[in-house]
Amino acid sequence: MADDQSLIAQLGLQPHPEGGWYREIHRSSQAISRSDGQARSALTTILFLLHAGEISCWHRVSAADETWHFAGGDPLELLTLPPAGGEVQRQCLGPAEHGLTPVAVVEANWWQAARCTGTWSLVSCCVGPGFDFADFSLLRDLPEHQRPSGGLHEFL
């Protein structure tokens, strides 16, 4: 098994604002117009890696769905929270042959967070309409009175 530092170098990953390491590997040349009139690429894909003890803190992507695809390493725990708050939903992404879910979907505007359950976890994430940092927000950047209920504080 490769070590996570070697993978970061081999895959050309950079630090992500939510935590972890990433690199965009695809941005569709096809452009679409969202229902709010904003133009975006049809689809974007990144590689995303978390080390042991590292988290992807609560964040959301406005007006775009995101899929998480397990790619290697140890299983990854993915947490989701409805836009207005409520109960946290948990999924464990990993190899299907071990009875785990290899793919998860996070609907547009839902809050999401993740953590590695072992030494390192590698996933790919696809966003459609395509990702733009203008659509990205971190829960910790909201004033406390605007944060949805149910978000676990260890993921801020």
Instruction: Enumerate domains of the chain plus CATH numbers.
Output: 15-155 (2.60.120.10)
Q: What are the helix (H) ranges across the chain?
A: 4-11
Q: Tell me what pLDDT residue 76 has.
A: 98
Residue 2 has pLDDT above 80, yes or no: no
Give the whole-angstrom CA distance, residue 107 versus residue 80: 9
Residue 153 clears pLDDT 70, i.e. is over it: yes
Query: What local confidence, expressed as pLDDT, does residue 95 receive?
Result: 96
pLDDT at 1 > cutoff 70:
no
Asked if residue 129 has a cis previous peptide bond (ω within 30° of 0), the answer is yes
**Strands 39-41 and 89-93, how do they pair?**
unpaired
Q: Tell me the mean pLDDT in the region 61-76.
A: 97
pLDDT at 102 over 70: yes
- % pLDDT > 90, the chain: 95
User: Exposed (0-12), middle (13-18) or buried (19+): which is 156, by Cβ within 10 Å?
Assistant: middle
Average pLDDT of the chain is: 96
Predicted local confidence at residue 4, as pLDDT: 82
